[in-house]
Amino acid sequence: MAMQRSLRIRSRALTTAYGTGIRDSELKVLNADLEELPEQVPRTAVESLVEARLDRHDHSRTYTFVLNGEERSFTYEESDAGMWFDTPVFGNTLRYRAEDGAIYADVSVQVSLVSIH
């Protein structure tokens, strides 16, 4: 009879750096033997899963994001920021949280130096 082992996962989000405007953390996931399991890099996952589009208008711009068929759009006046990104930047803010036995990564999207969602 084959012996079955249950997999117990332990996780820790370690703060690796902090200061004015920065807080960096790193996730470590261990199995029952305290061996580290490989993690999927959240920024890379988001970049591969989210379709982003920029539509420019006379005095405004609209960023549209599509994930799993669900679309969200955000419209800004050109005067809302001094500098805009043509391509959104994902993951400048990354936070991990545990909920109902699962680990989630909250990944921000930034379209200008002053706009983080």
Neighbours of 65 (CB within 10 A): 19
> What residues does each domain of the chain span?
10-112
HSE (CB half, 13 Å, CA atoms) of 30? 8
Greater confidence, 48 or 103? 48
* 35-60: pLDDT as tens digits: 877 777 788 888 989 999 999 999 99
In DSSP terms, which residues pair with 111 in a beta bridge? none
Neighbours of 62 (CB within 10 A): 13
Separation of alpha carbons 80 and 29, rounded Å: 41
